């Protein structure tokens, strides 16, 4: 019996390492697929809109297109809720295939309407992040942030490939439509990876226990209602902390325009060329890695709350560098690189922290539903931000929208101080 136990433990340890490797591949696909759409807006505008509209109007229409596509992220709530109902594995496989299919559609888009439809699907599948619940439920309690960031850092290969491919397909004198080459990698990796995950990755052990318990007790309770009760009828401190996280995520994603439209803004600068923009994109990729490294190293050491303060202020400061740097002759590239590095490391550092804290506040049964609900309100923030940006850009400029939304982040500071609970070291299996 001891021998069998040891072999089981060995297989479990071996499987965990294999699972980490596969999840890194998933993040490579997710990161690349998410980011490539954020570094080609100027080229999409050039092909689909520039011949018919002025710069501000074309930018406004593109922002509206992204606002419509952002509605796809509302369905992320259903994905996470489904993860609580049918399991983590099925949804992980679905999102991998979804990213590949959406990229295939973008490749063959012939106008802004078709691009918007497939961007809608891309937003839904890249925003699902089912891999995150795998890490949270399979990792040791004291190592959740560590393993989360190991996977994220390994997945940074996708971020690094993104500027490499952009410099190959998009350069001074590149033909109109060359941006379509950016979709190739997602298509080539996505389909075989989806098959591999379907055949070799198991359901998480924690969810498997919940599933078996449901079968044993024949629980026929309305799962959504039950999970919402678990979330909003928990003790007051946890309930208020979760609500604060929802509000914070709304304002974070409201500022997602800094990620999705910054390439469009700096491409319009008279002081930056396409080759300069490629340099900024490289800086963007490295900054994502830096943001994950900072989070991975410090979140389990100094705690979640101090990093929340740091990222909020860095995001505001980065916006100032970006907006005014692009208008400064001589040193525009330097200032924009500083601004984008602060924006990107803070934006994605906040995403990791808010996701981890959410998972550490909620019981297993409602973890997918709760994270999905937080994401849903973030999606509302994305749509709100893009619609308002479309209006503001039509009458003023992208710079005005960037500055306005970044200063709204200050609302987060009193929320962190008053309501956010420090969750460092939480054992997820003990949350009820």
* Mean pLDDT score, 245-262: 88
Find, among 96, 95, 124, the residue nearest to 37 by Cα.
124
Query: 308 near 353, Cβ under 8 Å?
Result: yes
- Rounded CA-CA distance 303/350 in Å is 13
**Residue range 360-375, pLDDT digits in tens:** 777 766 666 777 778 7
Helix, coil or strand: residue 421: coil
The number of domains in the chain is: 1
pLDDT for 215 equals: 59
Among candidate residues 303, 354, 283, 403, the one with its CA nearest the CA of residue 129:
354
CATH number of the domain that residue 13 is part of:
1.20.1250.20
C-beta separation of 318 from 343 below 8 A: yes
For 265, residues 6+ apart whose C-beta sits below 8 A from its C-beta are: 322, 326, 398, 399, 402
CA distance 331 to 101: 41
105-119, 172-186, 206-220, 244-258: range with lowest mean pLDDT: 206-220
pLDDT of residue 141: 65
Residue 411 has pLDDT above 80, yes or no: yes
Give the whole-angstrom CA distance, residue 250 versus residue 429: 28
Closest CA to 322 of 264, 374, 371: 264
The pLDDT value given to residue 217: 57
**Long-range contacts formed by 95-99: CB under 8 A, 24+ apart:** 95/125, 95/126, 95/128, 95/130, 96/26, 96/29, 96/190, 96/193, 96/194, 96/197, 97/190, 97/191, 97/194, 98/124, 98/125, 98/128, 99/29, 99/30, 99/33, 99/125, 99/126, 99/186, 99/190
Distance, in Å, from the CA atom of 342 to the CA atom of 312, rounded to the nearest integer, reads 10
In angstroms, the CA 119 to CA 70 distance is 8
Report the pLDDT value the prediction gives residue 214, as an integer from 0 to 100: 60
Which structural domain, as residue segments, surrounds residue 348?
Answer: 2-430
d(CA 248, CA 374): 9
pLDDT at 43: 86
CA pair distance 408, 159, nearest whole angstrom: 28
Q: Tally Cβ neighbours within 10 Å of residue 173.
A: 6
Residue 359 pLDDT > 90: no
Rank 9-13, 122-126, 234-238, 324-328 by mean pLDDT and report only the highest.
324-328
pLDDT (tens digit per residue) in 48-100: 888 788 878 888 888 889 888 888 877 777 776 677 677 788 888 988 999 99
Q: How would DSSP label each residue in 88-157?
A: HHHHHHHHHHHHHHHHHHHHT--SHHHHHHHHHHHHHHHTT-HHHHHHHHHS-GGGHHHHHHHHHHHTHH
DSSP state at residue 220: -
- Find out whether 121 and 72 touch, Cβ atoms under 8 Å: yes
Residues 6 or more apart whose CB falls under 8 angstroms from that of 350 comprise 248, 252, 308, 311, 312, 315
Predicted confidence at residue 222, as pLDDT, reads: 60
Nearby residues of 198 by Cβ (< 8 Å), 6 or more positions away: 93
Q: Is the dihedral of CA 140, 142, 145, 146 positive or negative?
A: negative
Indicate if the pLDDT at residue 220 is higher than 70: no
């Amino acid at each position: 019996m001891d021998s069998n136990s040891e072999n089981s433990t060995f297989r479990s340890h071996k499987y965990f390492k294999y699972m980490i490797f596969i999840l890194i591949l998933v993040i490579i696909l997710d990161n690349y697929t998410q980011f490539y759409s954020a570094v080609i807006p100027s080229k999409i505008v050039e092909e689909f809109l520039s011949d018919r509209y002025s710069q501000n109007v074309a930018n406004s229409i593109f922002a509206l297109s992204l606002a419509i596509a952002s509605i796809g992220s509302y369905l992320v709530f259903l994905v996470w809720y489904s993860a609580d109902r049918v399991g983590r594995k099925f949804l992980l496989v679905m999102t991998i295939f979804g990213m590949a299919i959406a990229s295939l559609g973008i490749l063959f888009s012939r106008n802004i309407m078709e691009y918007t439809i497939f961007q809608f699907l891309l937003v839904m599948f890249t925003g699902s992040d089912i891999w995150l619940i795998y890490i949270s439920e399979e990792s040791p309690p004291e190592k959740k942030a560590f393993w989360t960031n190991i996977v994220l850092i390994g997945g940074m290969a996708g971020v690094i490939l993104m500027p490499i491919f952009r410099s190959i397909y998009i350069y001074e004198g590149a033909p109109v439509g060359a941006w379509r080459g950016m979709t190739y990698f997602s298509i080539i990796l996505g389909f075989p990876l989806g098959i591999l995950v379907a055949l070799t990755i198991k359901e998480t052990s924690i969810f498997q226990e919940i599933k078996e318990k449901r079968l044993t007790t024949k629980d026929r309770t309305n799962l959504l209602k039950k999970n919402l009760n678990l979330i909003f009828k928990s003790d007051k401190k946890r309930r208020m902390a979760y609500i604060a996280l929802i509000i914070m995520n709304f304002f974070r994603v409201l500022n997602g325009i800094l990620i999705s439209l910054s390439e469009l803004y700096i491409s319009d600068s008279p002081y930056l060329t396409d080759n300069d923009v490629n340099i900024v994109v490289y800086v963007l990729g490295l900054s994502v890695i830096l943001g994950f490294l900072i989070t991975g190293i410090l979140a389990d050491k100094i705690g979640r709350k101090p990093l929340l303060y740091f990222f909020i202020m860095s995001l505001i400061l980065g916006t100032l560098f970006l907006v005014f740097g692009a208008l400064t002759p001589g040193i525009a590239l330097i200032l924009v690189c500083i601004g984008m590095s602060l924006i990107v490391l803070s934006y994605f550092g906040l995403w990791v922290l808010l996701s981890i804290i959410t998972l550490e506040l909620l019981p297993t049964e409602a973890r997918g539903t709760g994270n999905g609900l937080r994401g849903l309100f973030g999606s509302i923030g994305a749509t709100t931000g893009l619609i308002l940006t479309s209006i503001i850009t039509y009458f003023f400029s992208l710079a005005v929208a960037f500055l306005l939304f970044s200063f709204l982040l200050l609302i987060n500071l009193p929320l962190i101080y008053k309501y956010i609970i420090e969750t460092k070291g939480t054992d997820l299996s003990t949350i009820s």
